[in-house]
Amino acid sequence: MCGGEDVDKWIDRVTDLYLSVLRVEKPTIAAIDGYAIGMGFQFSMMFDWRVAASSAEFRMPELRHGIGCSVGVAILQHAIGYAAMQEIVFACEGISAERSIRYGIVNQVTEPDGLLAEAISRANIFAKYPQIPYRSTKSTIVTSMEDVLLQSVQSSKEVHRAAFSSRSPHLHFDRILGNSNQKKCRIANMG
């Protein structure tokens, strides 16, 4: 990703992905194991209920890698509060499953070998609720997160355009993708 129009399309796609999960009328349960980093962390926050394996770790490392974190800021501030969001976004450090309970990131923690069974059990509990009250209540709950996401789109595009234009994320992406990313951006910026 080099900046400009690429950034705008990326933010639009991410927003659409998050909104699509929020708008599922049936219960949605996230079963989280391993690492939930950046977008994975943010994506998990779109579900009605989050079950994490005790081995799970959450991390929002964007600033450390020169990437804007505006979408993450909007989501976390809305979901868990301003001070907790600041700590997570500025520290860029891992958050254990147990600590994620204290932040309100997950609803419950279980052993890794019981993760899927626990998530399915929770889904079955929610599925037994009468559908119309569940859907109506869920709609009311997710409307505020939808509003937060939609209100953050333009500022998120600006934050990410500025970061990618400054080339600050490129070293990080070069480490992950190899130098071909840098060459593609030079070509895209020339043409």
Strand, helix or coil for residue 24: coil
Closest CA to 51 of 76, 25, 33: 33
Residue 127 has pLDDT above 60, yes or no: yes
Q: What does the alpha-carbon distance between residue 139 and residue 12 come to, in Å, rounded to a whole number?
A: 22
Q: Residue 87: its pLDDT value, please?
A: 97
Q: What does the alpha-carbon distance between residue 76 and residue 45 come to, in Å, rounded to a whole number?
A: 8
Q: Residue 172: its pLDDT value, please?
A: 55
The string of pLDDT tens digits covering residues 98-126 is 999 999 999 999 999 999 999 999 999 99
Closest CA to 95 of 116, 118, 117, 72: 72
**Owner of token pair 């990313």:** 181
Residue 31 has pLDDT above 60, yes or no: yes
Q: What does the alpha-carbon distance between residue 122 and residue 120 come to, in Å, rounded to a whole number?
A: 5
Q: Which residues contact 17 (CB under 8 A, 6 or more apart)?
A: 43
Q: How confident is the model at residue 71 (pLDDT cuts 50, 70, 90)?
A: very high
Q: Residue 59: its pLDDT value, please?
A: 97
> How much is the pTM?
0.84
| Contacts by 167-175, CB closer than 8 A, 24 or more apart | 168/66, 168/67, 169/65, 169/66, 169/67, 170/66, 171/66, 172/65, 172/66, 172/67, 173/1
Task: Enumerate domains of the chain plus CATH numbers.
Answer: 5-190 (3.90.226.10)
